[in-house]
Structure 1
Amino acid sequence: MTELPKYYFRVRENGAAVFRVDTENRQRRIDMDQIAVINIRNGEIKPQGERVLDEEDMAEIRTWMDERRALLEARDMDDILRAIDHMNLTTQWAQSKASEAQLDAVTDRLLMAMHDLRTVLVRKKADRLDTAQE
């Protein structure tokens, strides 16, 4: 049998609920005791109830948080790269397949979204260039 991890992290919207996993009991059941709730965005770690987290708990939680942030960052980049692919596919669709009715249904929304994106990207690039010149 594979050894179970000592901690289990139930992912939530902004972090996770942290459980200590226990299989060392008389019934040989898997018991999960919630020890903390963590918030990835602000780095907050809240022990559950009156519990005091020891150094091992904190180290495991911090490691998980670092790994989770890296995973979420990688997913964000993947989503953006996919968005670029979708933009290219949308361009090809508009040029070669779209009917007039389909174009009428999406053109204004696409133009507004592209204008908004372009405005943000140009402003951010200008900010980076200004910072680099200072």
Structure 2
Amino acid sequence: MAGDLPDYYFRVRENGALVFRVDTENRQRRIEMDQIAVVNIRNGEVKPHGDRTLSDADIAVIRDWMAERQIVLAERDIDDILRTVDHLNLTTQWAQSRATEEQLETVTDSLLLAMHDLRSVLVRRKADRLVSDENPG
């Protein structure tokens, strides 16, 4: 089992991760995790933990993890938005076929404002893209 463990463990947190070096080569044959760094995905910062000095290998592994993590997070963002589209369709069907007058009264203003705000942003961003496509560089 111990031979299958990675050399590093990343404890994900909201803005990045805590980075641990995994050690199974000790006398007790226990898994030990030694925190070596804190990473921030948003600004790309890697801070050694305490008075540690990170090796080139540590930094390479951390940078690779950060690149992979950014890809995963971007994919999740798109998936969340596509799920939102599905949910909007389900909400439309609900409003048309099952919603009571009281339920509609509860949600209509909030939905209309949120959809208006979203539509305004999407239309503006679409127009910006069209203008930039017509006037490259």
Bucket of the pairwise TM-score, normalised by the shorter protein: over 0.9
- The aligned amino acid for 1:44 is E
Using the size of structure 1 for normalisation, the TM-score is 0.98
Matches of 1:42 and 1:118 in 2, distance apart?
Answer: 30
Residue 92 of structure 2: aligned partner: 91
Residue 110 of structure 2: aligned partner: 109
Output aligned runs, 1:2-81, within 5 Å.
2-81=3-82
Which structure 1 residue ranges, 5 or more long, are not aligned? none
Q: Percent identity?
A: 70
SS in 1 for 2:4: coil
SS in 2 for 1:108: helix
The runs of 4+ residues in structure 1 deviating greater than 2 Å are none
Matches of 1:125 and 1:32 in 2, distance apart?
Answer: 48
Q: Deviations over 1:69-122 (max 9, x none)?
A: 111111111100000000000001101110100000000000000000000000
SS in 2 for 1:50: coil
SS in 2 for 1:70: helix
Output aligned runs, 1:111-126, within 5 Å.
111-126=112-127
Matches of 1:54 and 1:91 in 2, distance apart?
Answer: 55
- The aligned amino acid for 2:94 is W
How much does 1:13 deviate? 1.1
How much does 1:53 deviate? 0.7
Matches of 1:35 and 1:45 in 2, distance apart?
Answer: 10
How much does 1:55 deviate? 1.1
Using the size of structure 2 for normalisation, the TM-score is 0.96
Matches of 2:4 and 2:102 in 1, distance apart?
Answer: 59
Which structure 2 residue ranges, 5 or more long, are not aligned? none
SS in 2 for 1:110: helix
How much does 1:128 deviate? 0.5
Alignment size in residue pairs: 134
